[in-house]
Amino acid sequence: MSHCSVIAIDGPSGSGKSTVAKSLAKELGILYIDTGAMFRALAYVANERSIPLDSDSEVESFLKSIKVDYQSEEGSLIKVDGIDLSERIREHHVSKLASIISQIAPVRTFLLDFQRELANSKVCVMEGRDIGTVVFPEAFCKFFVTASIEVRAKRRYDQLLDKGQEDVDLDQLKKDVKKRDDKDMGRDVAPLKKADDAELVDTSEMPLDTVISHLKGMVSNRASEIGINL
Ligand code: DC
């Protein structure tokens, strides 16, 4: 199989994959692409505009009407129709909306094209749920990053407290994490699953800097094996 120069990092929410993906990209000096931010941004805007998600035709015309910009300027992660949503997409309620919208086939097709176009033969780290299985099955390096539900809920809890949110309930978060996993793994289109050739990375017990240096070593070896310049 011929390979493309993408490093695919997939896994469930709270597994540490974003931190791992971001740090790995930074250490290697390559582009980092956060595909979850794209689903979040579309979910946020569709909700604001009261798009009926049960109508494929309404969703399709919504998708045709919008302009998405990813990292179009310094300090902006994602914009829709010129409006910067980088902060707003991190609000807790947007996670639920994103999980719902990510099950809609036209949304996945739209973002699949967008993601392929964006990576367009660049060396990059792309993070998501289906990068190694659907978006770039020919990625030269694939990792499936995971952690136990308890660890993931606690990480989310700490994050929300850090952000100043006060009414956070750990047990509720555990249930939310589990529900989101079931949805992400159970959906018909592009479900969350480990690609057969992805390396499983469990971050429950491992400090993130250990994980990152382990991955960095594997990426460097693999890149020199197949002649990709990092
Ligand atoms: O990684 P995240 O929590 O920001 O992702 C938000 C939602 O988008 C999550 O429910 C899963 C979904 N998603 C997806 O279905 N496919 C991707 N490639 C990335 C995210």
Domain spans in the chain, listed from the N-terminal domain onward: 4-223
Architecture field, domain 4-223 = 3-Layer(aba) Sandwich (3.40)
Closest CA to 143 of 76, 79, 227, 212: 212
pLDDT at residue 137 is higher than 70: yes
Has this prediction a pTM greater than 0.85?
Answer: yes
CA 85, chain centre distance (Å): 16
C-beta of 129 in contact with ligand 1 (< 6 A): yes
Higher-confidence residue of 99 and 70: namely: 70
Going from the Cα of 36 to the center of ligand 1, the distance in angstroms, rounded, reads: 4
Nearest-angstrom CA–CA distance, 9 and 194: 10
Higher-confidence residue of 85 and 227: namely: 85
pLDDT at residue 1 is higher than 70: no
Backbone angles phi, psi at 87, to 5 degrees: -85, -50
Would you place residue 191 in the very low, low, confident or very high pLDDT band (cuts 50, 70, 90)?
Answer: confident
Whether 124 and 135 have beta carbons less than 8 Å apart is answered as: no
Q: Which residue's CA is minimally distant from atom 9 of ligand 1?
A: 99
Q: Residue range 138-153: average pLDDT?
A: 95
What is the edge-to-edge ordering of all strands in the sheet holding 83-84? 68-73, 76-80, 83-84
Nearest-angstrom CA–CA distance, 198 and 130: 11
Q: Residue range 37-52: average pLDDT?
A: 98
C-beta of 98 in contact with ligand 1 (< 6 A): yes
C-beta of 99 in contact with ligand 1 (< 6 A): yes
Would you place residue 96 in the very low, low, confident or very high pLDDT band (cuts 50, 70, 90)?
Answer: confident
Nearest-angstrom CA–CA distance, 32 and 28: 10
How many other CB atoms are found less than 10 A from the CB of residue 197?
12
CA 174, chain centre distance (Å): 20
What is the edge-to-edge ordering of all strands in the sheet holding 199-202? 31-34, 124-128, 4-10, 139-146, 199-202
